[in-house]
């Protein structure tokens, strides 16, 4: 609901602060008094196109602010959230527009700078204008389906279709994901099989590279040690035999010396005995050294082919790791992963089959619910057409015919709201084809038709009706037709906030609040003034509207009668 309009330096208005209440508010006054300025100011605040001609002469800028009090569940809050503008759903919403004399504009929402486009988006859900020069809201075919659904109380079915659409989308995504996985696995299956066969043949074990590297180092060291031991052993080659020969030779020499008559204790015999004993001792040590070297060689468990086999295994593992682009340590896990991938291909195909079955079930569910919603919309469309037809006759639009056009979209163009494209269509004369609402050429007729449609839809918008503005909806009609217009505006205002600019006393008499727009001053000092009328002043204003320039007692009596109908 609009609760306030703050205007500064717009055309003939220097300063004006207006407060709005619920129900029907009538704006009356002489032609040219400035009623359109009020609407233009509200339009500026809600994103309408503005030009420098709206800035009051002598002022540097025009400023308008519209204050709204939307319900907490009003869609305007969702737009603010989408645009990233801070807000509180339990507070008022202030839209402000500054228009400079050189034609530049600035826009603000709750004192946050934004774009004119954001104001326009907000204004589209807060205000509807139906008048001589424009009708917004009903001419937008995007509003027709929600209006029809609200009229037919189809919200529950729409939610069910929306939920089915969400499930259908989830099933489609699941099938797509599984199909992509299966396709990738199938494309890689041959290569995966070959790699797995190589890994199965190789059979890499966790920690094997480190064990092989350590074993290789030990075997390399053992090989070198055996070479050193062998070199040490060559030093003693033939030495034992030569020492044994030396012992025998010394023994022979001693024997010959004794045969020649030398005494056993003689110096020569004693020296030969000592030499023989020394060589014999050396012979024993050499034998012990050879045994020790042989024992040292036996301490190494080394086979000439063992190092070669160890290196071959290590190099084969490292080569496989390079080929597959992983570390040697990762080979056992990769083997398990590849095997799991091949198993997953088979299970993935099973999962894909199940997902496709779920998709078909979700599709059938969605199409069933969407089809039922289409039938309900067709029935609601017929009821709405009949209700509008009843409203058209008293509004002097009895030659016009209204229908709700429903086109069933193919499955590819279906959506969360079903398979229907809904359009409100009008035929202005008997025999004329139906067309969109823009086919109504007359502004007054278009405004009255909007009133008829709104009257038929009244009470079905779940408390989210925007402010509705009817600008001279009564143009060209009077008497009973004007009274019918006023009655429908009053009835519409029971469910929504309505602002009407009117020259009809029958319409003004139905208002809850009545404002009179007038000009004061002369020349460059000409100003627009807005007065909120009390009951006595309302009677006088309606009498003026009835009588013209000279207000008579009869006109006043007629005004009282209209006000108390």
Structure tokens of 546? 């009835």
Q: Identify the residue with better confidence: 559 or 259.
A: 559
Task: Judge contact between 356 and 171, C-beta under 8 A.
Answer: no
Residues 459 and 537: their CA atoms lie apart, in Å, by 32
* Angle in degrees, 0-180, between the axes of helices 535-547 and 553-563, rounded to the nearest 10: 120
How far is residue 373's CA from residue 383's CA, in Å, rounded to a whole number?
Answer: 15
Rounded to whole angstroms, how far apart are CA atoms 16 and 231? Answer: 118
Phi, psi (deg, nearest 5) at residue 349: -65, -35
Question: What contacts 131, CB < 8 A, 6 or more positions away?
Answer: 39, 443, 447, 469, 470, 471, 472, 473, 501
**Averaged pLDDT of the chain:** 84
Per the model's pLDDT, the better-predicted residue between 317 and 81 turns out to be 81
**Residue 294 burial class via C-beta count within 10 angstroms: exposed 0-12, middle 13-18, buried 19 and up:** exposed
What pLDDT was estimated at residue 508? 92
User: 135-152: per-residue pLDDT in tens?
Assistant: 556 777 888 998 899 899
CA distance 530 to 535: 16
Phi-psi domain of 137 (left: phi exceeds 0; alpha: psi -120 through 50; beta: other): left
Which of 338-347, 484-493, 524-533 has the weakest average pLDDT?
Answer: 338-347
129 Ramachandran zone, left/alpha/beta (phi>0; psi -120 to 50): beta
Phi-psi region for residue 521, left (φ > 0), alpha (ψ -120 to 50) or beta? left
Among residues 41, 2, 8, 45, the alpha carbon closest in space to that of 25 is found at 2
Query: With pLDDT > 70 as the criterion, what percentage of the chain qualifies?
Result: 89
Tens digit of each residue's pLDDT (9 = 90 or more) over 183-231: 877 777 777 788 888 888 888 888 877 877 777 666 666 666 666 667 7
Q: With cut-offs at 50, 70 and 90, classify the pLDDT of residue 447.
A: confident
pLDDT tens figures, 358-400: 999 999 999 999 999 999 999 999 999 999 999 888 888 888 8
Q: At what angle do helices 155-202 and 306-324 cross, to 10 degrees?
A: 150
Q: How far apart are CA 274 and CA 262, in angstroms?
A: 16
- Tell me the C-alpha distance between 234 and 226, whole Å: 12
Specify the 3-state DSSP secondary structure of 206: coil
The Cα–Cα gap between 316 and 321 comes to 9
Handedness of CA 310, 315, 318, 320 (dihedral sign): negative
Half-sphere exposure for 523 (CA within 13 Å, toward CB): 1
* Phi, psi for 370 (deg, rounded to 5): -65, -40
- Best-predicted range by mean pLDDT among 153-162, 202-211, 321-330? 153-162
Q: What is the DSSP letter of 465?
A: P
In the chain, count H helices and then E strands.
Answer: 15, 15
The more confident residue out of 485 and 346 is: 485
CA distances from 436 to 100, 124, 404, 425, 433 (A): 38, 20, 10, 5, 10
Residue 280 CA to residue 275 CA, distance in Å, equals 8
With a CB cutoff of 8 Å and minimum separation 6, the contacts of 209 are: 314, 317, 318, 328, 329
Q: What share of the chain is helix, strand, coil (3-state, %, to 5)?
A: 60, 15, 25
What does the pLDDT read at residue 211? Answer: 77
Which tokens go with 333?
């896990």
Lowest mean pLDDT among 57-66, 113-122, 219-228, 452-461: 219-228
Residue 218 has a pLDDT of: 66
Q: Would you state the pLDDT for residue 4? A: 94
Nearest to 300 by CA among 227, 220, 222: 222
Banded pLDDT at 463 (limits 50, 70, 90): very low
pLDDT at 302 (0 to 100): 57
């Amino acid at each position: 609901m609009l609760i306030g309009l703050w205007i500064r330096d717009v055309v003939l208005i220097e300063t004006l602060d207006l407060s709005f209440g619920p129900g029907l508010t009538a704006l009356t006054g002489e032609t040219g008094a400035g009623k359109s300025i009020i609407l233009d100011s509200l339009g500026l605040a809600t994103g309408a196109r503005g030009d420098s001609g709206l800035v009051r002469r002598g002022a540097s800028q025009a400023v308008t602010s519209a204050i709204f009090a939307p319900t907490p569940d009003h869609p305007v809050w969702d737009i603010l959230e989408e645009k990233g503008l801070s807000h509180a759903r339990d507070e008022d919403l202030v839209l402000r527009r500054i228009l400079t004399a050189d034609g530049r504009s600035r826009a603000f929402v709750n004192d946050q700078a934004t774009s004119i486009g954001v104001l326009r988006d907000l204004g589209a859900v807060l205000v509807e204008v139906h008048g001589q020069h424009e009708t917004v809201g009903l001419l937008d075919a995007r509003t027709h389906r929600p209006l029809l659904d609200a009229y037919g109380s189809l919200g529950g079915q729409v939610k069910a279709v929306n939920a089915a659409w969400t499930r259908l989308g989830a099933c489609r995504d699941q099938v797509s994901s599984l199909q992509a996985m299966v396709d990738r696995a199938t494309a890689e299956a041959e290569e995966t099989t070959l790699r797995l066969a190589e890994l199965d043949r190789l059979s890499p074990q966790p920690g094997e590279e480190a064990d092989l590297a350590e074993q290789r180092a030990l075997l390399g060291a053992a090989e070198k040690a055996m070479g050193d031991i062998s070199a040490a052993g060559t030093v003693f080659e033939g030495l034992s035999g030569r020492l044994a020969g030396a012992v025998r030779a010394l023994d022979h020499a001693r024997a010959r010396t004794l045969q020649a008559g030398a005494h056993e204790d003689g110096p020569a015999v004693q020296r030969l005995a000592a030499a023989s004993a020394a060589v014999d001792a050396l012979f024993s040590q050499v034998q012990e050294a050879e045994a020790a070297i042989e024992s040292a060689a036996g301490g190494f468990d080394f086979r000439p082919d063992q190092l070669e086999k160890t290196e071959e295994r290590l190099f084969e593992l490292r080569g496989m790791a390079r080929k597959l682009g992983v570390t040697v340590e990762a080979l056992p896990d990769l083997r398990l992963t590849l095997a799991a991938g091949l198993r997953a291909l088979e299970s993935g195909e099973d999962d894909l089959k199940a997902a496709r079955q779920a998709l078909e079930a979700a599709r059938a569910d969605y199409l069933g619910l969407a089809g039922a919603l289409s039938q309900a919309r067709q029935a609601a469309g017929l009821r709405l057409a009949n209700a509008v037809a009843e409203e058209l006759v008293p509004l002097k639009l009895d030659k016009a015919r209204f229908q709700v056009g429903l086109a069933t979209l193919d499955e590819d163009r279906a959506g969360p709201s079903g398979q229907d494209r809904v359009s409100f269509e009008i035929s202005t004369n008997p025999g004329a084809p139906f067309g969109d609402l823009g086919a109504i050429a007359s502004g007054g007729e278009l405004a009255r038709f909007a009133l008829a449609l709104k009257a038929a839809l009244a009470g079905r918008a779940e408390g989210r009706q925007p402010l509705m503005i009817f600008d001279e909806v009564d143009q060209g009609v009077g008497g009973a037709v004007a009274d019918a217009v006023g009655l429908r505006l009053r009835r519409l205002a029971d469910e929504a906030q309505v602002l009407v600019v009117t020259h009809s006393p029958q319409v003004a008499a139905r208002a809850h609040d009545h404002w009179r727009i007038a000009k004061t001053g002369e020349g460059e000092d000409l100003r627009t003034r807005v007065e909120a009328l009390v009951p006595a002043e309302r009677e006088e204003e309606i009498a003026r509207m009835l009588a013209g320039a000279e207000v008579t007692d009869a006109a006043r009596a007629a005004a009282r009668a209209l006000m108390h109908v």
